[in-house]
Amino acid sequence: MTTTEIIEKRLKEKNIQKIALANFLGITKSNLGNKLRRDNFQVKELTLICKFLNMKLIIKDDDDDETDYTIEYTE
């Protein structure tokens, strides 16, 4: 599943329109649409999206199935 698919699925589950997410990110709906089409997000954007959608951004270690890293962006 791509990042875009996950975001769109979560928006649908929570009955949230993309414009609300775009407003939260401080970008236009068109800009968000472009990012979703390209499946191209910065870590800062992903952490903000996760915050908005009540999710966590986690990186898993391929060499160690038990090691997870939670990414939290702070300014």
* CATH number for the domain harbouring residue 36: 1.10.260.40
Residue 66 has pLDDT above 90, yes or no: no
pTM score, two decimals?
A: 0.84
Sequence-separated (6 or more) residues with CB below 8 Å from residue 25: 32, 45, 48, 49, 52
Tell me if 71 sits within 8 A of 43, measured CB to CB.
yes
Range of the domain at 13: 3-71
| Four-point Cα dihedral 17, 22, 5, 35, nearest 10 | 150
- Count of structural domains within the chain: 1
**pLDDT level of residue 2 (50, 70, 90 thresholds):** very high
Residue 74 has pLDDT above 90, yes or no: no
